[in-house]
Amino acid sequence: MSVASRGVALIGFMGAGKSTVGAILAPLLGLPLIDLDARVEQETGSSVASLFAERGEAGFRAVESEALYATLREGPCVLACGGGAPIQPGAMEALTAWGLVVWLHAPIEVLQARVGAGQGRPLWGPGVKALAAARAPRYAEAQLTLDATLPPEALARAILATLERP
């Protein structure tokens, strides 16, 4: 897979390490890092939590989808997707056509330990286990699944090795 013509999309549940791995991977590939949540916040001038509070989940997802498709049109990058971005209709298909989609997968207990109380994460709460289970089949459509309990550097190297294979 040619990295020069395709990007890498990191998907997974909250706390999987998408932004952390992306920050390590992007310089290794010589590609820009786009954190989708950060892009949404920059473009709207509001935090993800504020957008959820003001517009509801559907309103947030509409803004997130616009930012996702704009990012894909801009060309190759390392894209750290929000946890719900690939779940939206058509998103996984668009991501797969655009580049390598990598699911950073970890048990919910590990994610809970990383996220803690979930401050600033509007969907983190009592239903988090059910939400993670509901999203897993869509995440499993990724071309590459990695164990996100591994160190971020090891995950970045594994992605790089996958991209370097003929």
18 with 81: CB under 8 angstroms? yes
Q: What is the mean pLDDT of the chain?
A: 89
Give per-residue pLDDT as tens, 47-61: 988 888 899 888 989
Distance of alpha carbon 110 from alpha carbon 112, whole angstroms: 5
pLDDT at 84 over 70: yes
Give per-residue pLDDT as tens, 32-50: 999 999 999 999 999 988 8
Give per-residue pLDDT as tens, 98-129: 999 999 999 888 877 767 644 544 445 557 78
Distance of alpha carbon 4 from alpha carbon 156, whole angstroms: 17
The confidence score (pLDDT) of residue 14 equals 84
Structure confidence at residue 3 as a pLDDT band (50, 70, 90): low
Task: Determine if the pTM surpasses 0.85.
Answer: yes
E-state strands within 18-158 = 33-35, 78-80, 99-105, 144-147
Residue 7 burial class via C-beta count within 10 angstroms: exposed 0-12, middle 13-18, buried 19 and up: buried
| More confident site: 113 or 70 | 70
The confidence score (pLDDT) of residue 126 equals 59
Q: CATH assignment of 7-36+76-164, given 3.90.1640.10, 3.40.50.300, 3.40.50.12780, 3.40.50.1370? A: 3.40.50.300
pLDDT at 1 over 50: no
Residue 93 Cα distances to 11, 24, 88, 89, 96, angstroms: 13, 25, 10, 9, 5
Structure confidence at residue 157 as a pLDDT band (50, 70, 90): very high
Structure tokens at 17: 């390490």
Mean pLDDT in residue range 63-74:
96
Domain range summary for the chain, segments of one domain joined by +:
7-36+76-164
Pairing of strands 7-11, 78-80: parallel
